[in-house]
Amino acid sequence: KRSGATTRVKYVCTQPPSQGEIEVTTVSPERYTMAMHGSGAKGHTIAMRGEGRWLGADCGDVKPRRPPAAK
């Protein structure tokens, strides 16, 4: 669901089993915040907060990651 600058996602994973919600808010074109909470297979609580910001288009010697090879 999206409301204004905030997107809320419910997730369910099978490997390893877990479920919960993630909320991502776009603060500006260069910055976002996120919060996640859920539960794992044995009732473990999962919680995480983070934020990101644009540093620039030139990453110097750091190259983009390549996707894993197809199986």
pLDDT digits (tens, 9 = 90+) for 20-36: 999 999 999 999 999 99
Q: Name the band, by pLDDT with cuts 50, 70 and 90, for residue 71.
A: confident
The pLDDT of 9-17, averaged and rounded, is: 92
Q: How far is the CA of 59 from the CAs of 20, 29, 43, 64, in angstroms?
A: 33, 18, 40, 9
pLDDT of residue 3: 93
Name the region of 56 (left: φ>0; alpha: ψ -120 to 50; beta: rest).
left
pLDDT of residue 9: 96
Is the CB of residue 39 less than 8 Å from the CB of residue 46?
A: yes
**pTM for the complete prediction?**
0.69
